[in-house]
Amino acid sequence: MEPHIAGLETPTLIVWVREDRSHNVAAADILHGLLPNSKVIIIPDAGHLPMIEQPVRCARDYRTFRQSLVSADAAVRAACQ
């Protein structure tokens, strides 16, 4: 997977859980290093499916991430005027 995503400029929110028994939490840092416009959120006290185990937290983090993109876009547009 790494050669296919390395350097992608797409804004990416990487959500991982510390206690995931299926995927090691260190993989989040690997993905973050490959994706220059990424942000990592590590959720404690959840298993493999944080969107089910902590839906309010996941929704809040996602909305904050999306809002940061809108705010950044507005700042760029203002600077270009």
What is the domain-level CATH number for residue 61?
3.40.50.1820
The range of the structural domain enclosing residue 8 comes to 2-80
The pLDDT of 19-40, averaged and rounded, is 93
Q: How many domains does the chain have?
A: 1
Closest CA to 33 of 50, 8, 15, 58: 8
Instruction: Give the pLDDT score at 81.
Output: 74
DSSP string over 6-40: TT--S-EEEEEETT-SSS-THHHHHHHHH-TTEEE
The pLDDT of 13-27, averaged and rounded, is 91
